[in-house]
Amino acid sequence: MSVFSHAELDDHESLHFINDASTGLRAIIAIHSTVLGPAAGGCRRWSYLSDAEAVTDALRLSRGMTYKNAVAELPFGGGKAVILSSNTAPKSPQLLAAFGRAVDSLGGKYVTAEDVGMSVDDMRQVQQHTKFVSGLPQSGANAGGDPSPWTALGVYLGIAAAVKSRLEKDSLKDLKIAIQGVGHVGAHLCQLLHDAGAKLLVADVNRDNLNAVKTAIPVEVVAPANILYADVDVLAPCALGNVLTSATIPKIKAKVIAGAANNQLSTLADGARLAARKILYAPDYVINAGGIISVSHEYYGASSEDQVRADVEKIPHRLQSIFAESSESGRPTNELADEYARRLIAAGRK
């Protein structure tokens, strides 16, 4: 199949394939849009089943970043990088240097940061080879550093907004919440939810992640295969995408789905399936924008953590507007969010 006929190509401006024989780096950088600013989005390192799956992931993630940055009112377009993980190409300083050079070769059209499989320390090494990188430690009260806590804060605030809208509760105390994935973002989210009095069920394929959360706070561990179907009030997908499908949605018991994972819906029609079951879905790129908000403040400079927090605290208000419109119109929340994002991008293009 030609890349130009790929179902997820959408209006992507460019797609870059990087192959560095000396380090084994194989990566894809997808630039969806630079209408509102340089295409910003993290770098994900993952073991894909095929090259085609990696291309699809890069395309979907980069489009999601365009929508996320637009709705969050950031001076960024959307892009994403994926590094294909393999045993023959470990995450070495040389491989990260090659990735940094690849980012730099795009001349600022793409700004990278950490994502799944990448860390702040990795970005430090990438920074040695390009200035088009964010998510780095900062000094003093300046904004910057690991964006995961900010993503978690936005999701936490979004969960509270969704609970108020769907369950008509002003508190998360004693609510049962299932968190799928307790990595960097999921672990921070668990702590916030625990502090609010929620009862937590957690699952993760990574045993170290589970042990870390179990040591920190009381949680009930559920098998990864069962977490989506737990008898809870709220389901928070915080791992990878494509978990809400025609096969999984009929078995979900939660009344609210609000989590940090990107591309939670397998298809646009899955938003309608959730709405038909009266499950309130918080569009992923609206609720999980806290991290890129922090990255934006860091990248453009002259910002404090207080300014980041103020912008992250706008997330629940955006969600409440979407929830209210969905209730009045009967239309799925994901459709309304997509339309809003496209209007903002069109306005920027004009």
Residue 340 in contact with residue 321, Cβ under 8 Å? Answer: no
Contact 111, 76 (CB under 8 A): yes
* Rg of the chain on CA atoms, in Å: 19
Question: Collapsing DSSP states into helix, strand and coil, what is residue 256?
Answer: strand
Q: Report residues of the chain scoring pLDDT below 70.
A: 1-2, 4-9, 139-142
pLDDT for res 116: 87
Closest CA to 112 of 292, 259, 286: 292
Nearest-5° Cα angle at 252, 251 to 253: 115
* pLDDT digit string, tens, across residues 212-252: 999 999 999 999 999 999 999 999 999 989 999 999 999 99
Write down the pLDDT at residue 136.
86
Distance (Å, rounded) from C-alpha 57 to C-alpha 133? 21
Q: What is the residue extent of each domain of the chain?
A: 3-66+76-127, 148-288+316-344
Provide the β-strand partners of residue 16.
Answer: 29
Give the Cβ contact number of residue 108 at 10 Å.
13
pLDDT digits (tens, 9 = 90+) for 160-209: 999 999 999 999 999 999 999 999 999 999 999 999 999 999 999 999 99
Residue position matching structure tokens 């789905």: 257
| Right CATH for 148-288+316-344 from 3.50.50.60, 3.40.50.720, 3.20.20.60, 3.40.50.10260 | 3.40.50.720
Query: Residue 83 is which amino acid?
Result: I
**CB–CB of 295/134 below 8 Å?**
yes
Q: Which residues are tagged catalytic?
A: 80
In sign, the C-alpha dihedral spanning 244, 246, 251, 257 is: positive
- Say how far apart CA 158 and CA 313 lie, in whole Å: 9
**What's the rounded Cα separation, in Å, for the pair 206 and 280?**
28
Task: State how far the Cα of 260 lies from the Cα of 319, in Å rounded to an integer.
Answer: 14
pLDDT at 140: 61
- The helix/strand/coil state of 326 is helix
pTM: 0.92
pLDDT at position 312, please? 98
Predicted confidence at residue 42, as pLDDT, reads 94
pLDDT of residue 204: 97
Looking at the domain 3-66+76-127, which fold is it? Rossmann fold (3.40.50)
pLDDT score at 107 = 97
